[in-house]
Structure 1
Amino acid sequence: MFPKKNIPRWIIILIDLFISAVSLLIAYLIRFDIKANASKWKSELEIVEYSIIVFFLVRLIVFLSFGIQKGIVRHTSTSDFKRLFLATTTSSFIFILLGFVRFYWFDHYYLFPISILIIEYVFCFFFLSVSRFVVKLLYMESVKSTTEQQFVLIYGAGISGLIAKRMIEKDVRIHLKVFGFIDDNKRISGNRIEGVEVFHTSKLDEILLKNKIHQVIIAIQNLEPERRNWIIETGLNAGVEVKKVPSPKSWINGSFTSKQISQVNIEDLLGRTPIILNQDKLAESLENQVVLITGAAGSIGSGIVRQVLEFKPKLVVLLDQAESALYDLEFELKQLKGISPFEVVVGDICNEERMNCLFETFKPSWVFHAAAYKHVPMMELNPSEAVRNNVKGTKILVDLSNSKQVHKFVMISTDKAVNPTNVMGASKRIAEIIAQAANKGQTQFITTRFGNVLGSNGSVIPLFKRQIEQGGPITVTDERITRYFMTIPEACQLVLEAGVMGSGGEIFVFDMGKSVRIVDLAKKMILLSGLELGKDIEIRYSGLRPGEKLYEELLNDEENVQETHHPKILIATERGLDDQIMTEIHLLLDAIGEKDNLTLVKQMKVIVPEFLSNNSEYSVLDKK
């Protein structure tokens, strides 16, 4: 057992000096072929008796100067060995210099013969290093638990993979042993790196089947999504934990700890190839501009805030009525250094007087409109609030942007506005119409439309996570239901790109990739949590909620698309707007607060003829 307290430094110095003495003795024994008689030893001792004192004095001063006693021996690192090398080399070099001084200035004898110094130097450095390595090895063995070690496969035999291997071997608390590397490079397959075999990824299934692998750790950064998904799903299907090495940005001094190796999450499975944006064009458009972001404390709004701040605007105005969420965002931003100035405003976009004051005070040149009520079942029960916030609030901002000569107004819409089957989707389609109809003056009104955003407030993934933490069941409305997904950063980047490229009147549609079955999403989240479907947790079907669709769409039947310079951004061709449309919208706004929700919803259907309610009390209006 190792002592709980560190050995005093003076004892370590004495041990190092003793090792130096032993090394000097061995050097003489080798020089004399271990056959020298007593008279020869006596003669040599008379020559070097004062040299021995100098030897220990120099070694003591140099060892203390380099601080070789300061390192904790059982945790010796490469930097400690570097200090040992420098200290030993420096002291031997001093011995040689002092030898020349003695020879030429005193009695024509060297401090020690050069051959002795060379032999002593080799043995001294060797013994000092080995003693520390042995202590470290004995310590690591002594603290190892009797718990059976679990095998780990590391995907990626590069720098990140090697660092992960060394960290695992160093951390005796985690009881893991590296079984091998897997890598896509066939040329290194079959080789060994630091004693660990490298396998080609084509053998992953076979390795997981034949060996008791506990974890697969993905160590490759910026891995192609398709490859990452295959690795994760292969591991999950084999009942193996899949984890990932953190981004180098979070490493400390070029390394990381075992606690930073995290579970892969559903975002890793659904994420796609990172978007490459025209950073120069974005910087040119937003630099030194006053930018207003509504709904700034929401998932999309806060994402836009973080990205806009990178392009050095003159001022970013954060507007939201959610006081607590806005406070949290403000606190987060204040921790960042070197960001652009920002102003936090608590306010309701439906308060026309308050919004007018805001525009007069800050005079924004850009407006990103992300404020909206978005929960389908809740808006189905409260259509007046859906219209008040999503329609009236948007109209107030649109009118102010026109009258105050805002340069660009970018509205965040949703795929639920396409062939809407619910009040929320219809209210967002009407908001799109308002923005399109206003595109007649100096202000350029641009609409962006996309599907569900991973991890956004109120989305299905946070809901499933809570249900899994609570032991289930996971509730899925229908086994057939599918949705499009993208990450928050991806959605925000595309909004910025569309805002820059738009010249007014466009509806930008984002390439959402393939739609995902929600029940498959739930099953993967169960596996990622280390649980077994049907044993640890179950999926329960609750039936479609009022207004809910089985499938989402990004385009109306009457809309076509045209390509842009960005492969993930398309433009929906504009549908002609009836001159009567704004009159109908004003009638809708006049109906806000009516006791009879049917009257309000009926007027929404007049404005949006394709609005056909699904599984809702308002379905009766579609039959008339």
Structure 2
Amino acid sequence: MKKLTDAFTALYNGDNIVKLTDLRYIPRWIVILIDISIVFFSIFLSYTFLDWLHVQVNFPNQSLEKRILLIGVNLFFMFVFRTYAGIVRHSTFFDLFKILLSSGSTLLTLMAINFCIGKLLGKSLYLYPTLFLYFFISVSLMFFFRMLIKQFFNILIDIKGASSKTRVAVVGVSDASVSLARAILHNPNYPYRLEGFVTKRSDSNKAVLLGNKIYNSDYFFKNKNLTKQFDALLIIKEIMSKQELEEWMTLALDNGLKVLKAPTLSKMRDSDLVGGIRQLQIEDLLNRRPIKIENEDVTKRHFNKNILVTGGAGSIGSEIVRQVAQFEPSLIVVLDQAESPLYELELELLEKYPEQKFKFVLADISNSYRLEKIFETYQFSMVYHAAAYKHVPLIEENPHEAIFVNVLGTKNVALLSKKYKVNRFVMVSTDKAVNPTNVMGASKRTAELFVQSLQNLEGNTTKFITTRFGNVLGSNGSVIPHFRKQIEKGGPITITHPDIIRYFMTIPEACELVLQAGTMGAGGEIYVFDMGEPVKILDLAKRMIKLSGFRPDVDIKIKFIGLRPGEKLYEELLSDNATTVPTHHQKIMISKDPLIAFDEIEFLCKQVIKAAVKRDKLHVVKLLKDIVPEFISNNSEFEVLDKKNLTDVSN
């Protein structure tokens, strides 16, 4: 009652739009009074029509009693079916159905009374046309009243939020596009206002859909006065190819429009529409069709098994844990040396998978004594080795740390997997291990060689498998989050070189490859992924700036800072002397890289580990170059070692 009083006070004071939209619902007693008024008016109209037609009614002297009976019966069924109980401003077909039930029951009851009185007195109390006329008039007016109130509130809310709402044009006129547009149109509380449709079709220029015009894209984007009436294009990403997505994005950004994406309504509840609509991100343009893992094989490898994930708190490791948890293993041991990320992951996983048993272990993989106790206790069936140092410039400055983690750590985990007869050991490697130009890549290639050498040792039962990835979208320290932070700060975006290119894949893709490799491998393979076309980092930066609503080199500057130590312009997935073998999965290949015998790589690893203990940077890198002859330093202090080797060869 207070809300209603406040609303009428607001009307008197002139602040009607704001206050009326704050009114949550019309009180039920007012709805009942209005419905009774409609009943009276319907009776009046019914008899007026009969009078115009000069129709003589039965029992004219009892007209008051007849009308009281009609009203009483109708009121009784209104309370039975609670036609007043719905919130009028949110009326739906269900409210019409309740009105039909109430008025229909009234009609049937009065017809029954009519029939009985007709049998007793020889003529019916009401003329049957009067009852049917009353039924149609009352039902129509009651539902019209509810639709009128609903539309009234929608208009008020639309006026109230007009300045703050995003004016959108939905791309396309397909069923999915129309469903999305209808959801926006019928929900005035959403922060979007439908202003039209844009399509490449030219046969719909004069058509109107859901009360809004359909514009041909050529006409729409050439007419600057028209595009100024919109704030954003709204696309459904799932029904577009990558080429179409890029085309619409370019057209929108070149004309000062934002690009919003929404999933199909079939993929979410209608109430989730607002949360489902987001600004298009650069990741959407880089995504490719993901690998589909063979769930039956993966389930068999993990169900009721003990699984270890090293580096489990990292970007790749944590996603492996999430995916493995879906296959109901007996236990997942998540091992990492980063305390805070491990704790945060623990909180997330315990909430997300309350039925799954986890063990979170804070440990350093270079400590073999600590690791052995873990292997002895849990008797793992699968080991996913994702622990590694990966940042090229940092590792170039601290090569001994790469040896401790990437070489010694991998050696420890692999040897313990062999000793405790782990069924499968899957190592996460990198494309930087191919023809490496930095210490990080060379250390990962050394780890690959050691892992492969274990496969054919006498008595070995473990299948050792390696997977190579490109750059992972959204991983810790990767280029896209870095650029995003720079844009948020107003720039500049820093790029090492205008011609630098990189391959990209998503974190889920990378982890699906890991799981797939674990089921496909017979042991000793290095799996590489068909990563599509490489992306020029300069183009990536310009797109991100445009998607953020800015102009490259105008609002956000782009600055070239030179290649970092050890960095190269392009990455490779295969070494020069490697050949590939296809697998049953068209996106996955096996790289046939040169091997080193176990005794030889074991001896070389011991030497480089001893050098790392002494913190002798040059000696560490020299030994890495002995292990990996194709390791040629680039833009690094260690280039001197390559020149020395060339001199020695020429002499």
Q: TM-score normalized by structure 2?
A: 0.88
Alignment of 1:386-425 (within 5 A): 386-425=402-441
CA distance in 2, matches of 1:500, 1:246: 32
CA distance in 2, matches of 1:200, 1:275: 36
Change (3 A) 1:502 1:83: same
Q: Please state whether the residue corresponding to 2:352 is helix, strand or coil.
A: coil
* Higher mean C-alpha deviation, range 328-337 or range 122-131: 328-337
Q: CA deviation at 1:191?
A: 4.9
For residues 506-554 of structure 1, the C-alpha deviation after alignment (integer angstroms, 9 at most, x for no partner) is 0000111111111111111101111112222111111111111111011
Report if aligned partners of 1:246, 1:262 keep a CA contact under 8 Å in 2. no
Letter in 2 for 1:71: G
CA distance in 1, matches of 2:123, 2:445: 99
Change (3 A) 1:524 1:90: farther
* Higher mean C-alpha deviation, range 155-164 or range 368-377: 155-164
Letter in 1 for 2:88: V
* Higher mean C-alpha deviation, range 339-348 or range 497-506: 339-348
Letter in 2 for 1:30: F
Asked whether 1:453 is paired with 2:464, we answer no
Letter in 1 for 2:569: L
| Amino-acid identity (%) | 41
CA distance in 1, matches of 2:64, 2:333: 81
Report if aligned partners of 2:227, 2:255 keep a CA contact under 8 Å in 1. no
Letter in 2 for 1:603: L
CA distance in 2, matches of 1:285, 1:174: 47
Aligned to 1:134: 148
CA distance in 1, matches of 2:357, 2:204: 51
Alignment of 1:245-284 (within 5 A): 245-246=262-263, 248=265, 251-252=268-269, 254-258=270-274, 260-284=276-300
CA distance in 1, matches of 2:548, 2:223: 23
Letter in 2 for 1:476: I
* Higher mean C-alpha deviation, range 241-250 or range 19-28: 241-250
Change (3 A) 1:74 1:183: farther
Q: Which residue, out of 49, 67, 70, partners 1:55?
A: 70
Letter in 1 for 2:260: K
Count of aligned pairs between the two proteins: 617
Letter in 2 for 1:180: F
Alignment of 1:523-534 (within 5 A): 523-534=542-553
Q: Please state whether the residue corresponding to 2:461 is helix, strand or coil.
A: coil
For residues 425-446 of structure 1, the C-alpha deviation after alignment (integer angstroms, 9 at most, x for no partner) is 1111111011101112100000
* Higher mean C-alpha deviation, range 332-341 or range 438-447: 332-341
Change (3 A) 1:193 1:276: farther
Report if aligned partners of 2:235, 2:262 keep a CA contact under 8 Å in 1. yes
Asked whether 1:482 is paired with 2:501, we answer yes
Aligned to 2:444: 428
Asked whether 1:215 is paired with 2:227, we answer no
Unmatched 5+ residue regions in structure 2? Answer: 1-15, 645-651
For residues 247-275 of structure 1, the C-alpha deviation after alignment (integer angstroms, 9 at most, x for no partner) is 658733x3444454210101101001233
Report if aligned partners of 2:237, 2:263 keep a CA contact under 8 Å in 1. no
Asked whether 1:616 is paired with 2:631, we answer no
Change (3 A) 1:473 1:101: farther
* Higher mean C-alpha deviation, range 333-342 or range 551-560: 333-342
Q: CA deviation at 1:459?
A: 0.3
Alignment of 1:238-317 (within 5 A): 238-246=255-263, 248=265, 251-252=268-269, 254-258=270-274, 260-317=276-333
Letter in 1 for 2:358: F
Asked whether 1:595 is paired with 2:615, we answer yes
Unmatched 5+ residue regions in structure 1? Answer: none
For residues 441-498 of structure 1, the C-alpha deviation after alignment (integer angstroms, 9 at most, x for no partner) is 1000000001000001110011111111111111111111110000111111111111
Q: Which residue, out of 469, 483, 493, partners 2:512?
A: 493
Report if aligned partners of 1:96, 1:111 keep a CA contact under 8 Å in 2. no
Aligned to 1:7: 26
CA distance in 1, matches of 2:181, 2:428: 45
Report if aligned partners of 1:369, 1:411 keep a CA contact under 8 Å in 2. yes
* Higher mean C-alpha deviation, range 519-528 or range 303-312: 303-312
Aligned to 1:333: 349
Q: Which residue, out of 382, 400, 408, partners 1:384?
A: 400
Letter in 2 for 1:245: A
Report if aligned partners of 1:165, 1:178 keep a CA contact under 8 Å in 2. no
Asked whether 1:503 is paired with 2:522, we answer yes
* Higher mean C-alpha deviation, range 519-528 or range 591-600: 591-600
Q: CA deviation at 1:231?
A: 2.2
Change (3 A) 1:447 1:11: same
Aligned to 2:194: 177
Asked whether 1:556 is paired with 2:575, we answer yes
RMSD: 2.6
Change (3 A) 1:97 1:198: farther
CA distance in 2, matches of 1:45, 1:608: 113
Moved over 6 A (4+): 186-190, 200-204
Letter in 1 for 2:236: A
* Higher mean C-alpha deviation, range 394-403 or range 279-288: 279-288
Letter in 2 for 1:622: D
Q: Please state whether the residue corresponding to 2:243 is helix, strand or coil.
A: helix
Q: Which residue, out of 82, 98, 102, partners 1:83?
A: 98
Q: CA deviation at 1:193?
A: 3.2
Q: CA deviation at 1:285?
A: 2.6
CA distance in 1, matches of 2:217, 2:327: 41
Q: Please state whether the residue corresponding to 1:221 is helix, strand or coil.
A: helix
Q: Which residue, out of 129, 137, 144, partners 1:123?
A: 137
Letter in 1 for 2:442: A
CA distance in 2, matches of 1:279, 1:534: 47
For residues 292-343 of structure 1, the C-alpha deviation after alignment (integer angstroms, 9 at most, x for no partner) is 1111111111111111122222222211122221222222222235754332
Letter in 2 for 1:134: L
